[in-house]
Amino acid sequence: MKKIGSVVLLFLVGLVLCISFTQYNVSAEEHLTVARSAVLMERDSRRVLYAKNENERLPMASTTKIMTALVVAENCQPDEIVTVDKKAVGIEGSSLYLKEGQRIHVCDLLSGLMLRSGNDSAVALAIHTAGSVEKFVQMMNDRATSIGAVNTHFANPHGLHDNEHYTSAYDLALITAQALSNDLVRKTVAQKSAVLHEDNSAINIYNKNKLLSMLPDADGVKTGYTTKAGRCFVGSATRNGMQLIVVVLNCSPMFENSRSMLEWGFSNYTMTNIVPYNKPYKPPEKGARVYFCPDEFSYPLKSDGSENTLIKKSFEKLPDGEGYCLNIYLDKQLIFSRKMVTI
């Protein structure tokens, strides 16, 4: 009887350990961050690798300036001279302490915007770019719409609290992915420090983004804080040809959680080449010619290989004898489609 009892006890202990181990593995992913909302995204594909309340509308503080920088970079030249308008002087919060009439290059104001988080820099750039803050904010909202950021609305270019100023972690990741595709923005946010040339003087400024020193692969992007938004952060890092974007909204340990999420992403996903450059393809139809895909295509897949067998390709015949499209699916989700060419 005692022997049976011992066997049962051992079984129950083993079962508890097994359940505990399973729960630990699940929680390791589920508890990557204590943020109210978070996303981990691969930049090129926009694939979401991890998400938590990703579509919840929340204030985002100075991470707003990622969109500000994008709109400025797309509409101004780096060497343009900005004459500081009086409306940009004395803006509350983080500041470059600009003076009315001061002359400074767009590229220097962008550094002040993204490294030091200058709210006065945001207003000066907005007025220079669009003629007024109101018109610039409309440009920001139009750009958000074009990117597909459907849970985003801007009320200002700096991120000071406004009830009509919000985004979601997913939208902010989309905006950041677009911003990092711009050379000027990408180079600006990767700087640990910069020298601003103001009239005949120069000052050194330093980036508030501690992730740049915490993670060797880090290359962006922006911090943020207000009482209502809490600590907000968007970070990026590139490793083995894959750039990941992390967004955490209302997250006290924002740098530590962001680093953990990025390391988790790099450990669990690998950028995989699915369509090599100029690889020949022959559709299965009788008499079909050999076609080539003009674009190379890579996509982040799970590093354990479990998704490799889910990649499928198909050839879509175009009307009027225009050839074929090469379609690539991950399971049933279309992830790539290009018209093929013949030589």
Q: Quick one: pLDDT at residue 286?
A: 77
CA-closest candidate to residue 53, choices 148, 151, 177: 151
- The yes-or-no answer on residue 267 being catalytic is no
- The yes-or-no answer on residue 313 being catalytic is no
Please, are residues 192 and 80 in contact by the beta-carbon 8 Å criterion?
Answer: no
How far apart are the C-alpha atoms of 66 and 113, rounded to whole Å? 9
Select which of 37, 45, 52, 65 is catalytic.
65
Select which of 37, 62, 111, 168 is catalytic.
62
- The yes-or-no answer on residue 52 being catalytic is no
Residue type, 120: D
Q: Quick one: pLDDT at residue 17?
A: 35
How far apart are the C-alpha atoms of 215 and 124, rounded to whole Å? 32
Select which of 117, 121, 168, 236 is catalytic.
117
Q: Quick one: pLDDT at residue 13?
A: 38
Please, are residues 29 and 22 in contact by the beta-carbon 8 Å criterion?
Answer: no
How far apart are the C-alpha atoms of 125 and 83, rounded to whole Å? 9
Q: Quick one: pLDDT at residue 30?
A: 64
How far apart are the C-alpha atoms of 72 and 211, rounded to whole Å? 25
Task: State the burial class of residue 87 (Cβ atoms within 10 Å of its Cβ: 0-12, 13-18, 19+).
Answer: middle
How far apart are the C-alpha atoms of 238 and 149, rounded to whole Å? 24
Alpha carbons within 13 angstroms on the beta-carbon side of residue 185 total 23
| Maximum Cα interatomic distance, the chain, rounded to a whole number of Å | 93
| Tens place of pLDDT per residue across the chain (343 aa) | 444 444 434 443 343 333 333 332 334 566 789 999 999 999 999 999 999 999 999 999 999 999 999 999 999 999 999 999 999 999 999 999 999 999 999 999 999 999 999 999 999 999 999 999 999 999 999 999 999 999 999 999 999 999 999 999 999 999 999 999 999 999 999 999 999 987 678 889 999 999 999 999 999 999 999 999 999 999 999 999 999 999 999 999 999 999 999 999 999 999 999 999 888 988 888 777 898 999 999 999 999 999 999 999 999 988 877 889 999 999 999 999 999 988 7
- Locate the DSSP E strands across 169-229: 193-198, 201-206, 218-226
Q: Quick one: pLDDT at residue 29?
A: 65
